[in-house]
Every structure is written in C-alpha cells, then in structure tokens.
Amino acid sequence: MERIAIIDITSKCNLRCTHCYNQERYWEKSENYKELNSKNVAKIVHRLKEMNFTRLHLLGGEPLLSSNLFDFILNGQKEDLDVSIVTNGTLLNSDMMKKLCNSGVWSLSVSLDGTTALVNDRIRGEGVFNKVVDNIKKSVEIKNSLQPDMRLGISFTLTKQNLDTSKNLFDFVNDLNLDFVNISYLSNEGKARETYYDNTITESDKFQFIDEILFSYKSRNNNIYFNIDARKLLGEYIYKKHGISLDAEYFVGCAGGDAQFYILADGTLLPCSPAGTSMGCQLSSDYLKDLEPPNLLLNNINEIINSSYLVKFYNYTHNAQTYQNIVPCKNCRYECKPCPLLYKNDNIVVKECTYAMEEIQKIDKKFMNIPLKKNENIRMSTVNDKVILLSFLTQDEFVLENTALSIWNQINNVNTGNDITRLIMKEYKLKDEDFNMVQKDTMEFLYQLRGNRFISDVMI
C-alpha cells in the first residue's frame, strides 16, 4: 500500500493566491515556524521510513524557497522514498531545474490557475503567468536534455474565474510538452473561504467541463496523464460516457491517518490538512477536545502511532455511523465515503454524487437503446469452448464464454442493448421477472466491451 507524507517544508511563500488553503495557517504566522535543520530533516524522513511511508510530497509555503529542500530530497532518496514536489513555478529557473533533475525527484508539478495571463494572474498575481510559462518551457528543454526519470506537469484548480478559458486545457498542456495535469476543485478553507460561494463552480458546470476536456483528450493521440479529483460515481459517469477508466486509488475515501498524513513546517503530524484548519474545528472541539497531535521530532514511533489524537480521528472517519445521514452515501453501492470534515454537519449532500447518479441513469437508458456494432481490426481465436478477442491495434485481449459469447454474437449493427437482453432471455428461457437483472448484467458487459474498444465508442 502506498503511504504518502504530505510535508510543508516551509511556511514562506512569495505569492498570495486568492484561494490559498494555507493562508490561515501561515500567512500571518510564518515567523512561528522555523525551518528544520539538516539533522532534524534526516530524523523526520528516517522516522517516516520506519512507519512504512513510500512517498514524500513536498509543499509549503513555496518549497523552492526552503533552505532544506534538498535535505528532504536527498534523505528521501537515501531512505528509498519517492519524492514529489508542487511549486508555484516562479523560482523554477534553469539552475534550479537542473538541480532537481539531478537529485532524483520523481514528480514535479507546477501550479497554474488559467491558460491565459488575464485569468491566471487574477488569482496568482500580476506577471505570474508569463514568468511561470517561460520557466516551464525552459524546464522542459532541460528535462529533455538530461533525461531524468521525472514527470513534469501542472496542477490546476477549477473555479468560476477560469472555467470558460480552461476547456482548452489539454491543448495548453500538450503545447507545453508536459507529462500530466492534475485537476482539482476549490477547497473551502484558508483564503478561499472569503469568496468560496462566489467562485466555486456548480455541478452542471463541472460535468460540462469534464465532458468537453475529455472529448478533447480522446480526439488526440497523446501520452498526457490526467488525474481528476473524483469519487466513484463520477468515475462511473466518466467511464460510461467516455469509455475512460480512472485509477481506483483516486476513489479512496478518507485516507487521513492511514494511507496519508499531513506534516506541518514544525514537524506536527496531522491526519490531513483540513484537520488543522477551520474545516476541522468542530471535530477538534467535539471529538478531539483537549487532544494534541503528535510531533515527529518530539514523539517516538509508539507515541505517534498510538497517540489518542490519531487513533480517535481514525475511529471517527472509519465508523459507518459518521456517514449515515450523508446523501447519497447511505443509498450508494460504493463505499468510498467523502471527507467527513466537509460533509458531516450542515453540508450533508454530496452534490457531485447526486448529480452523477441522475446523469448515469440518463446515459444507461440511452446506451441501451442505440444500435451497437463491432469495431474493425478485431481478431478472434478459439481455445476449447472459449473465444478470445484480440484488438490488432492495441493488442488487448478479451475472453468470451457462455453468456458473454451469446451477447457478442448478437451485436450486428442493428440490435440495441435492450434487443440483446430480450434475445438472451429467449435463448436461456428466462422469466419476465428476470428482465431487469439480465438487462443490468448485459449493460455492464457491453460497457466493458466498449471500454476495451471492441465495440463502437458511441457518444451519448
């Protein structure tokens, strides 16, 4: 299992972004957090290795301002931990990029919040966009020259301010010759709290944006990796509408205090970032009252692992009763569980999932009522009673037997999913009351065939 340590290696930052989640933690209190010396960095990283962490994810503040940046990187390498960094990119000059390439950093993500200077600089500050894009272009050249085992991409927070100009995001990333893009949404903490309801996008806007960028993504043959902040129902929507599967690790519910921890600039170990901000205030006052989080410098491993703070937090976030009133979790077949700090109290409706459920029903209905056809360049071979499909272009295989083979044989450019369901029921002499079950199983199998590109990717 991957276990990630998200570390604020400095409280200092040279920008004042309008949605900064760390504003309440560091902007007015930066002087309270002294940067760790080399000895303490080595102690923290070694302790994390002893606790079976697999990755260091370095944040700030602005991590490139930190005097101990390379102490963290080199100690991470020494302890065989992957190291990733998120930077605002303003200090990513040629010398810094060369050092990072030669240090063994696994992933470097540059934060941008617009594909134009006009939009980005409203959020990040005047002149930031052109400077950062210029630094990215030079960094790509250096990376291509030195050939390090490093991914270079951007992190993008979607808001009302950048929604309209973000639909060319993949063109923007592709033109910069980057490896990936991470897409997330505004978090109601820190500086963003002041204008959260004015700047956060609606679910309709979110789904329309996803549709448009994924249509763009599918229309080009590229190797850009993308990660969209998504729960399982949104992942199902994307799979059924676009035939794209998202990695299951991005559907994990609350990983805080188990697969993921957040470490402040003074070594304080939190289960997650919101636990230490206003989002976690009610939990702290009601459930974790008078309990202090452990510190990697002040506490030994047993004290950290068995601290009442972390144990009670874990028990709270992994208790089914915590989620029993959240809509639509109580009626959902997935068990991903949303952030309880965000949804437990007044905001008990997970709007993304509610909207996704409604849209999935529409997609399913339409998908089952359109004719389906087998794609070209498909090879078939028979082994015993099994038929193996092979895509000549992708070399993907799919094994058909029993009912699956019967369904495949009914795909003929004319039959719809519902037609195939009825034919299967007739072939196996099933009763009318079995129709819904057979329809569901047939539909899921047809989605698999389409997801593996053995039948047409129908735009619905």
51 vs 245, residue with greater confidence: 51
Least confident of 34-38, 78-82, 283-287: 283-287
- Give the C-alpha separation, 353 to 372, whole Å: 28
The reported pTM is 0.89
What's the confidence (pLDDT) of residue 421?
97
- Are the CB atoms for 167 and 213 separated by under 8 Å? yes
Given a cut of 90, whether residue 39 has pLDDT beyond it is yes
201-230 residue pLDDT tens: 999 999 999 999 888 887 775 688 888 888
Give every CB contact of residue 83 below 8 A, 6+ residues apart in sequence.
55, 56, 58, 72, 73, 76, 77, 104, 105, 106
DSSP string of 290-324?
Answer: T----BTTTS-HHHHHT-HHHHHHHHHHT-GGGGT
What's the confidence (pLDDT) of residue 230?
82
User: Between β-strands 180-185 and 151-158, what pairing exists: parallel, antiparallel or unpaired?
Assistant: parallel
Q: How confident is the model at residue 459 (pLDDT cuts 50, 70, 90)?
A: very low
Average pLDDT, the chain: 89
315-361 residue pLDDT tens: 988 888 888 888 888 778 887 778 888 776 556 678 899 999 999 99
257-299 residue pLDDT tens: 888 999 988 899 999 888 887 777 777 777 888 899 999 999 9
What's the confidence (pLDDT) of residue 247?
53
What's the confidence (pLDDT) of residue 367?
94
What's the confidence (pLDDT) of residue 251?
44
What's the confidence (pLDDT) of residue 21?
86
What's the confidence (pLDDT) of residue 457?
57
146-178 residue pLDDT tens: 999 999 999 999 999 999 988 889 899 999 999
Given a cut of 90, whether residue 312 has pLDDT beyond it is yes
What's the confidence (pLDDT) of residue 344?
64
What's the confidence (pLDDT) of residue 250?
44
According to DSSP, residue 24 is labeled I
- Give the C-alpha separation, 16 to 249, whole Å: 31
